[in-house]
Amino acid sequence: MNGVMMQYFEWYLPNDGNLWKKLKKDAPHLKEIGISAVWIPPCYKGQNTEDVGYAAYDLYDLGEFNQKGSVRTKYGTKEELIEAIETLHAYEIQVYADMVINHKAGADSTETFSVVKVNPDNREEVISEPFDIEGWTHFEFPGREDKYSAYKWFHQHFTAVDFDQKTGETGIFKILGEAKDFSENVTENEKGNFDYLMHADVDFNNPDVIEEVKLWALWFVQELNLDGLRIDALKHIDLKFINNLTQYLQESTKRDLFYVGEYWTGDIQALNEVLKDSYQDITLFDVPLHFKFHEASKEGPDYDLTQIFNETIVQSDAMRVMTFVDNHDSQLGQSLESWVADWFKPLAYAMILLRQKGYPCVFYADYYGSQGEEPNKPQQEIIDILLKARVKYAYGEEKLYLDNPNCIAIQRMGDQEHHNSGLVCVLSNSEAGNKEVIFEHEKPGTSFYDLTGHEEIEICLDENFKANFTCLASSISVWVKK
């Protein structure tokens, strides 16, 4: 099966509590277009209902308790979430939930404790003597009243915070205590040690924290009957703990759960190191490929398409990669903004959906459009065509034609299991292009047409099983057998 995941949210969704209801209603459509899995946003209570979910407050509150101003989360209630998941499963669509465990936000009260201030650009450099601050680190979840877990969080469960309530000062305040330090198992050396990201940073050197997060993760997977997890901020979390957690979940659930980690860097060597050192079933998003799509969309005809797969995970480890074009972090207005220009989106989606290698992800904002201050137009029509091509035709051996800086092609040979399968996708970032392609297992005279409708002609194989397949300027054509 040619699986495809959809990231079913974007940063600028309205705070109306309707996403779970929309997802449930959308399930038959997702099945029809070829989506086999859905990545849902953080589905637990954030610091308020405006929060997208990455300022996580109570991981046990899935929209069930009156906390932080509402019962529902930004996306709906726990009951609506469970109904959506059950409906997706009825349509044989898997569900992967976003797991935000690096930090906590929206504490219930402050505590006074000792810290040192560290250099934000080099967290190994202490820039103050020890002193006391009043930090937001006490989480007791009064609205939940100990249902599911009686665990309470205090300052000793965190490595650092970024705000002193007593003085109003901001910075990175490293919490002092016996054997307390940033994790040595954070693989990213950026900023000296990139353990700290935001809010109250969870201390994965603390045995109590390790046990509690493992118990919560097992409860989370079983409570929602999840098929996998998207691991947020993997770059900032103790990798030894992540390996411990994923193995614990596999052993406890006796299920082959799917894990995909968000490690935001374009450094392929760093990503290969993470894959080497992480649990064998963890996949990574191909951030380097995303950056190449972004760069190509900005440079236009000046970009050399023959280099677009170089130094990417899909090239170096095709079995452990999730390919994507854009996501909520790369959207316009975000701190990691690297939006792929609309004209290049069809080319980028063709390069992830029609290849044999990689597990592709379709982004909600590309399919349905976004609602931010700079909304993007949906690309639903062309994505539907490419999904159809993936479901019906993108089978068999893959051959890449990377011999022209402005025009490349992807060929799939087809197989006996899928009737009439096989295709040629020609892509150009400049003038109209063409590629001479051989289909040795087809009969001379076999006719092909462009599934996209961009080219209105038919192309036939000659007596040598060859044909010259074309595409229009700055466009794609997907040629399939008539």
Residues with active-site annotation = 232, 262
3-state secondary structure of 315: helix
3-state secondary structure of 116: strand
Q: How many CB atoms lie within 10 A of CB 431?
A: 11
- 8 A C-beta contact, residue 106 and residue 43: no
- 8 A C-beta contact, residue 6 and residue 35: yes
Please state, in angstroms and rounded to a whole number, the distance separating the CA atoms of residues 299 and 287: 18
DSSP letter (8 states) at residue 420? T
- 8 A C-beta contact, residue 235 and residue 264: yes
Structure token pair of residue 5? 């995941």
Please state, in angstroms and rounded to a whole number, the distance separating the CA atoms of residues 322 and 257: 15
- 8 A C-beta contact, residue 100 and residue 54: yes
Please state, in angstroms and rounded to a whole number, the distance separating the CA atoms of residues 437 and 461: 9
Structure token pair of residue 412? 């799939």
Structure token pair of residue 379? 């690309």
- 8 A C-beta contact, residue 474 and residue 346: no
The torsion angles phi and psi of 111, rounded to 5 degrees, stand at -135, 155
